[in-house]
Amino acid sequence: MPDSSPSSSRPPQVGRRTLLGAAAAATAAPVVLGSATRAAAALAPRKKPRALPGGGDLGPNVLVFDPATPGIQARLDEVFRQQESAQFGTGRYALLFKPGTYSGLNAQLGFYTSIAGLGLSPDDTTINGDVTVDAGWFNGNATQNFWRSAENLALVPASGTNRWAVAQAAPFRRMHVRGGLNLAPSGYGWASGGYIADSRIDGQVGPYSQQQWYTRDSAIGSWLNGVWNMVFSGVEGAPAQSFPNPPYTTLASTPVSREKPFLYLQGSEYRVFLPEKRTNARGVTWGNGTPRGTSLPLTQFYVARPGVSAATLNQALEQGLHLLLTPGIYHLSEPLRINRANTVVLGLGYATLIPDGGVTAVKVADVDGVRLAGFLVDAGPVNSPTLLEIGPRGASRDHSANPTTVQDVFIRIGGAGPGKATTSMVVNSRHTIIDHTWVWRADHGDGVGWETNRADYGVVVNGDDVLATGLFVEHFNKYDVQWFGQRGRTIFFQNEKAYDAPNQAAIQNGSTKGYAAYRVGDAVTSHEGWGLGSYCYYNVDPTIVQHHGFAAPVRPDVRFHNLLVVSLGGQGQYECVINDTGSPTSGTSTVPSTVVSYP
């Protein structure tokens, strides 16, 4: 939705650390070596760097509570005051609750704040109270309530209903609400979320003003209404399929899913639980004994703190450690290289990676079972050709038994300062699961402009058999999503075209008016999508016309279900929905044009 927020200041630059090796230090004193000595020195093995330790303290921005901790509410309030309106600030926090029962709490969550229980099941950690997101900081408009999360808790809301009024990048995972869940801000202002997974809401979920929502592998008492695009897969209690009126897209199960890794306590020992893969999944993974999966002790993780160098993080990975990124901002002078199968990179409190000098932030080899979860990649001021790469170009190995998962990994270009990237996320490895991402070229904040935060492409999928569940990609200069792999599937897609296109010529794509939000490559013979929406708000030049939101080859096995395009207040228009099919948008009336089935 259009922005009317006050300007935000750029976070301070963090200097790059310089590491001097012992050999460099030795050049201070010249030494003359004889030939035999030189030969011996040349043959001597190089010293390996000292092994990095696993485990350790989680740092000052991970706040851990138990039921006997004094002053919990005051500490929660203090963090909220700092983070409530700090949309592009540098603060990062994780609020962790040990198993037990807590009463009389209202944990209000601001930006870059995660709250989670430390049990194996949400019911191990019960809050008699609320975990609240509202929009008082933005005059009751929840469309910018980004970057916050709740996970692995049971809530008994004080009023019987918990309020969770969020927009993008705000997952609600593995939660048990013993009551209802209200997804709108107080006053029912605009809202633009959102994502629920592996959760049980005993009462009614009320979206009210929420424009779109995706719920996966959960159980709900009932669902109240829908605005534009409400999608369900594997949800017990979901409303019946009825798109476009009401706008419900309902799949009985999710084809493949594997829940996000999470931190928990076993006695006094921190461990990371790795849920197992499910096929044709439906309902929650917890509640019937020990959840299915494996776990790793924290001693097998390098517990990273902000300020650590990319070289040290890569040393930890080469050493065989996983990475736990504690809350904060990490500058990378080289990519994180994940070459070992089954490596876990787990962020807490929206740990943020900034690639310096135009490097790629993360590169994953074509190996089995990598799990990336819970962090933000923020483009740097020097253009990066890519920000996240899953598999190298040409990757072709079969990973169906043990796929790589990308979960709650968010990418941002601009907003917190100038940033550029040609392509944000590239997926080359087969069978990858993208489970909830928001890939965003900023439309407001600092360092924003058609060329200032230039980013042509959001997500490019080259690998075969890739599944996206909860794909949010917005505002790219050209294509937001391009899909070249075979047998790709997307369940739920949310998009806005770039607001700031200066004129029609700036988005002209050959003879086509504008670049599709979601394009399937001409050579693809099999692809399927459910519940996909694209919106335009060309507020710089409202006369811009976008030919369509979706483009795909016309083949019997390239199929789409329940597509929509919307012009927000008539700021720009769509001529069609997909290819040359579907009605144009309706002038200044913010009413979706829909296609129920294509071809």
The C-alpha atoms of residue 215 and residue 435 are separated, in whole angstroms, by 11
| Dihedral sign computed on CA atoms, order 54, 60, 65, 69 | positive
Strand 262-266 with 269-275, pairing: antiparallel
The C-alpha atoms of residue 555 and residue 583 are separated, in whole angstroms, by 21
Closest CA to 416 of 95, 151, 111: 111
Q: Is 42 left (phi over 0), alpha (psi -120 to 50) or beta?
A: alpha
Closest CA to 145 of 136, 158, 155: 136
1 token code pair? 């939705």
Count of Cβ atoms closer than 10 Å to residue 449 Cβ = 12
The C-alpha atoms of residue 118 and residue 246 are separated, in whole angstroms, by 38
Q: Is 459 left (phi over 0), alpha (psi -120 to 50) or beta?
A: beta
According to DSSP, residue 11 is labeled: P
H-only helix segments in 256-309: none
The C-alpha atoms of residue 85 and residue 149 are separated, in whole angstroms, by 16
Strand partners, 204: 222
In the three-class reduction of DSSP (H, G, I as helix; E, B as strand; rest coil), residue 97 is classed as strand
The C-alpha atoms of residue 313 and residue 361 are separated, in whole angstroms, by 12
Amino acid at 403: P
The C-alpha atoms of residue 266 and residue 95 are separated, in whole angstroms, by 18
Catalytic residue chosen out of the listed positions 151, 259, 474, 496 = 496
Cβ neighbors of 193 (< 8 A, separation 6 or more) are 142, 145, 165, 166, 167, 168, 170, 183, 210, 212, 213
Residue 98 · residue 265 · CB < 8 Å = yes
Residue 141 · residue 85 · CB < 8 Å = no
Count of Cβ atoms closer than 10 Å to residue 1 Cβ = 19
360 token code pair? 């790629």
Strand 62-65 with 93-97, pairing: parallel
H-only helix segments in 158-198: none
According to DSSP, residue 49 is labeled: P
Closest CA to 281 of 326, 218, 343, 355: 218
The C-alpha atoms of residue 74 and residue 60 are separated, in whole angstroms, by 17
Residue 496 is among the residues annotated as catalytic for this protein: yes
| Dihedral sign computed on CA atoms, order 146, 362, 406, 58 | negative
H-only helix segments in 219-292: none
Strand 518-520 with 481-483, pairing: parallel
Positions marked catalytic: 496
